[in-house]
Amino acid sequence: MSICALIENLLFSEVVAQTNCSTAADAMTCLRAASATTLETANVNISNGGLFGTFLLVPVVDGTFITQRPTLSFMQRKINGQALLAVTNTFEGTVFVNQSATAVTAAQYSSELFPDFTAAQANTVENLYSGLGSDIFQTSAIQGETIFICPTYYMLSAFPGRSFKGEFAIPPGFHGGDLVYYFPGTSTPPFNNTAFIDAFAQSFTSFIINQNPNIKVDPSTITPSWSPFAVGDTEMLFNQTAPDGLPVVQPITTSSALLTRCQFWESVGNLTAQ
Ligand SMILES: *[C@@H]1O[C@H](CO)[C@@H](O)[C@H](O)[C@H]1NC(C)=O
Ligand SMILES: *[C@@H]1O[C@H](CO)[C@@H](O)[C@H](O)[C@H]1NC(C)=O
Ligand SMILES: *[C@@H]1O[C@H](CO)[C@@H](O)[C@H](O)[C@H]1NC(C)=O
Ligand SMILES: *[C@@H]1O[C@H](CO)[C@@H](O)[C@H](O)[C@H]1NC(C)=O
Ligand SMILES: *[C@@H]1O[C@H](CO)[C@@H](O)[C@H](O)[C@H]1NC(C)=O
Ligand SMILES: *[C@@H]1O[C@H](CO)[C@@H](O)[C@H](O)[C@H]1NC(C)=O
């Protein structure tokens, strides 16, 4: 049995124990009868004991309800949608890594994140990320790329010619920094510039209406022609200049080093359960 499968069994036992279902004749019946508060308490408690920034009670491939890894389905183009607009933020992983744990190496972190890794995979990760900066920068990049950024490219590839990629880079570029642009009024946008806000937010409304951000709800936005990702790994960068704070909305090409790292992560999908 893989370490991941052992962990799934351990987590189930832990949920059963923390909901007082250990002595029940049927643990599932007991869990279904448990109150939401009891389940919530067990969830929070168990997740607090896990690796920083990870969520322990997540969907798993059980072979019945979820029959295969999602990235495999993307590879096989088993999709329901017609088109895809995907935007990632520059530094998705930073808030999900303990920034005080500065001595953790890329190899150590990848083994903690993916317990089925052997030394061989951990060493490959060490080599792939060694040029990127400090240990903590590397571990943050591993978190962001494995959980958010690389899976986005797998999804883009499942819609060839019908998928568009954006990068939200307004500093600090952390996970969630884009939310206020989709849900205005919740707080002040980090870059409060009308031309930028219209360009970024209307990419989504235009896509929702037309499955293509180039068919604009308001043709006057500053977003230039946006090629599908399949055309030369094109992305639309949404950023601002420093220090004068002018919008930067322009096409860029995805880093080939990033795509190489993503290919590695895709190749070990059996071990990461992705
Ligand atoms: C929460 O988890 C810890 C172990 O991480 C355990 O000792 C404790 O009993 C748990 N609390 C509850 C309410 O189950
Ligand atoms: C589990 O049982 C113990 C002992 O009866 C009780 O103190 C505790 O509140 C129960 N926990 C839950 C989540 O029902
Ligand atoms: C973060 O890392 C520091 C340094 O290793 C450690 O002392 C601290 O307990 C960690 N915090 C959490 C929430 O894991
Ligand atoms: C954001 O920009 C709008 C339009 O220029 C302005 O009315 C508003 O006061 C700005 N908000 C903040 C917090 O600066
Ligand atoms: C975004 O712009 C900032 C300056 O405002 C710059 O430091 C950063 O490198 C840019 N990010 C990207 C991904 O281009
Ligand atoms: C990887 O997973 C696929 C399906 O999930 C399976 O067919 C294949 O045998 C696995 N390969 C290895 C090396 O475990």
pLDDT digits (tens, 9 = 90+) for 221-250: 999 999 999 999 999 999 999 988 999 999
Locate the ligand 1 atom nearest the alpha carbon of residue 18 and give its number. 14
- Find the 193 Cα to ligand 4 centroid distance in Å: 8
pLDDT digits (tens, 9 = 90+) for 199-214: 999 999 999 999 999 9
Cβ neighbours of residue 211 closer than 8 Å, sequence gap 6 or more: 82, 83, 162
Task: Name the residue ranges covered by the structural domains of the chain.
Answer: 3-48, 70-272
Locate the ligand 2 atom nearest the alpha carbon of residue 18 and give its number. 13
CATH class for domain 70-272? alpha beta
pTM of the model: 0.92
55-73 burial, b at 16+ Cβ within 10 Å, e below that, comes to: ebbeeeeeeeeeeeebbbe
Q: Does the Cβ of 63 fall within 6 Å of ligand 1?
A: no
- Find the 98 Cα to ligand 3 centroid distance in Å: 6
Nearest Cα residue to atom 14 of ligand 4: 192
| Average pLDDT across the chain, whole number | 96
